[in-house]
Chain A
Amino acid sequence: DAKTTQPTSMDCAEGRAANLPCNHSTISGNEYVYWYRQIHSQGPQYIIHGLKNNETNEMASLIITEDRKSSTLILPHATLRDTAVYYCIVSNYGGSQGNLIFGKGTKLSVKP
């Protein structure tokens, strides 16, 4: 599976959009981009995933560049409860094959 590179930490003001970048320059054609987050002492929470088109759900938006070498997770109106470690993972069978490789992620701190 392709590796990802994320900033170690980011701050965001409450109510503002949080834009979390991820580089995955070695992604292959059949690999999806997954985003999970982990709030302290809890299990990871699925946020969103996509292949090449931009995706949006009730939690966030995922913007994938045309060459698929990078993506951005957007939390449109960050709240204090969004403070967590955010993991960007690329995987070709993220569900059934178990190959979700968690890196160090980005620690997002939402501040009042």
Chain B
Amino acid sequence: GAVVSQHPSWVICKSGTSVKIECRSLDFQATTMFWYRQFPKQSLMLMATSNEGSKATYEQGVEKDKFLINHASLTLSTLTVTSAHPEDSSFYICSATPTSGSADTQYFGPGTRLTVL
């Protein structure tokens, strides 16, 4: 149980284009989902907290207009990297918290490797 999926697992795009990453909780409902970013040989850094039906909360230094987050249902959150640039190349990971049961635990997706050329 508590499986989180991400799509795509990897993506390569040209500079200036937008990329959408999906995060789904497969066997549970998640009121809250989180988006992290991990650069090579570094640890995960929280980017934003996504709550179903409301606006996301962004961490300091994360541009909300560049990283658009939509949490339209209890099982799906999307992260859109707009006008991507090479410095946005990173490993993007989402996590989700069950609305019931293990509500004090975050479960992580497998991550999406973004490469911007």
Contacts and interface: CB of A to CB of B under 8 A. Distances in A.
The reply to whether chain A is a binding partner of chain B is: yes
Interface of A: 32, 34, 36, 41-46, 49, 87, 93-96, 98-105
* Most chain B beta-carbon neighbours within 10 Å: one of A41, A49, A87, A99: A41
Secondary structure at the A interface, as helix, strand, loop or mixed, is loop
Given A43-B93, A104-B43, A94 B104 contact: yes
Interface string B54-95: 000000000000000000000000000000000000010101
A49 B110 CA distance: 21
Contacts, number: 62
Overall SS of chain B's interface: strand
How many B residues touch the partner, as a band?
A: 20 to 34
A46 B107 contact: yes
A99 B44 CA distance: 12
Given A42-B110, A42-B111, A98-B32, A103 B103 contact: no
A73 to B, nearest CB: 16
